[in-house]
Amino acid sequence: MDDSVFIPQLKDAHVVIVGMGLMGASLGYDLRGHCRRVTGVVRRPEAVAETEASGCVDDATLDAEAVVAAADLVVLATPVRTILRQIAKLGPQMKPGGVLLDMGSAKTEICRALAALPDHVQGVGGHPMCGKETAGLAAAQPGLYRDCTFVLCPLPRTAPAAFSLAQEMVDFIHARPLLLEPQRHDRLVAAISHLPYLSAAGLVSYVMGVAETDPAVWDVAASGFRDSSRVAASDVRMLMDILLTNRWAVLEATDDFVGRLTELRDALAGSDEERLRAQLTAIAAARRNWEKKRQSH
């Protein structure tokens, strides 16, 4: 990067958030009033007034290309495959030193797209590890990012000042930045996010099958089913994009998971109490340790 290019601090930055869904609008709520200006980019004409009325941005627009040209920080808060298209389309429009951060759940393909942009654009891959199964502007809330892990994947060529602006934003919304290589990120989130989604979907699919012959199954379903299956109600478009762009890691995770489940199944089938008890005890301990560590943050 040309040393004369100036990258401001967050309070002096014009931030453009592309996509006013749950993640984008929640980010707007946290940033508005603490940056020079927060602009939201929406897709539907009627969403301009809706977004401005919600109070999560200073102004909203349909014209992404016009606003990103002057932005100091552009945050892409759309589904992964939309992010890939927007990087190619909007990135080249940005001013020298403009920082382009995304919030997509699959980082290898996105960081490859960011690296393919002209040298003057400062790309940073990002992924906040939070969300909920309700989507859209109406579900957005201030404080959504508080205490969540926010993965950051700077490119080898990302300037320190550009990375600092991204990190300052993460700190400001009280998230915990975690630097990861894109491939490592993708493998880890396949394990703890994408696989749990596919597994929850498989569970609901199975119960739907049971319900075909005995609909009472829905009446006996309680908190165990509720929690185990919660993410299966997530936004399908968002999840489709994630699964398809992180396909290999998800397939590998799914196969390994089925292998582990089959070990437990076989111990049960063989009434191998000792082995089953040892496995389930170690599993319960690991799960409790994680919960304890998480709550101590």
Encode 118-130: b = buried (16+ Cβ within 10 Å), e = exposed. Answer: eeebbbbbbbbbb
Site for a copy of itself in 94-133 (CB under 8 A): 129-132
Interface with a copy of itself includes 269 (CB under 8 A)?
yes
Q: Which is nearer to a copy of itself, 7 or 238 (CB)?
A: 238
CA 124/CA 162 separation, integer angstroms: 8
Binding mask 149-178 for a copy of itself (x = CB under 8 A): x-x--------------------------x
Among the residue ranges 39-47, 95-103, 118-126, 245-253, the one whose residues contact a copy of itself (CB under 8 A): 245-253
Residue 83 to residues 17, 91, 105, 150, 245: CA-CA distances in angstroms?
A: 12, 11, 10, 17, 11
CB of 150 to a copy of itself, least distance (A): 10
Q: What is the C-alpha to C-alpha distance for residues 120 and 2, in angstroms, rounded to an integer?
A: 8
**Interface of this chain with a copy of itself, residues 272 to 291, rule: CB under 8 A:** 273, 276-277, 279-284, 286-288, 290-291
Does the protein bind a copy of itself through residue 138 (CB under 8 A)?
Answer: no
Q: How many angstroms separate the CA atoms of 141 and 54, rounded? A: 10
| Secondary structure (DSSP) of 112-139 | HHHHTS-TTSEEEEEEES---S--SGGG
Q: Select the span of 41-49, 56-64, 159-167, 197-205 touching a copy of itself (CB under 8 A).
A: 197-205
Nearer to a copy of itself, 62 or 278 (CB): 278
Site string for a copy of itself, 199-238 (x = CB under 8 A): xxxxxxxxxxxx---x-xxxxxxxxxxxxxxxxxxxxx--
- Give the span between the Cα atoms of 230 and 239, in whole angstroms: 14
Using the rule CB under 8 A, which residue among 37, 139, 188, 275 binds a copy of itself? 188
- Those residues whose C-beta lies under 8 Å from the C-beta of residue 7, and which sit 6 or more positions away, are 72, 97, 99, 122, 159, 161, 162, 164, 165
Q: Is 293 in the site for a copy of itself (CB under 8 A)?
A: yes
Q: What is d(CA 238, CA 105) in angstroms, rounded to the nearest whole number?
A: 9
Q: 171 vs 291, which CB is nearer to a copy of itself?
A: 291
Q: Is 294 in the site for a copy of itself (CB under 8 A)?
A: yes
Q: How many residues does the chain have?
A: 297
Residue 245 CB, nearest approach to a copy of itself (Å) = 11
For a copy of itself, the closer of residues 172 and 225 by Cβ is 225
Residues facing 126 on adjacent strands: 152
DSSP state of 144: T
Q: Residue 114 CB, nearest distance to a copy of itself (Å)?
A: 20
Residue count at the site for a copy of itself (CB under 8 A)? 94
Q: Which residue, 84 or 253, has its beta carbon nearer to a copy of itself?
A: 253
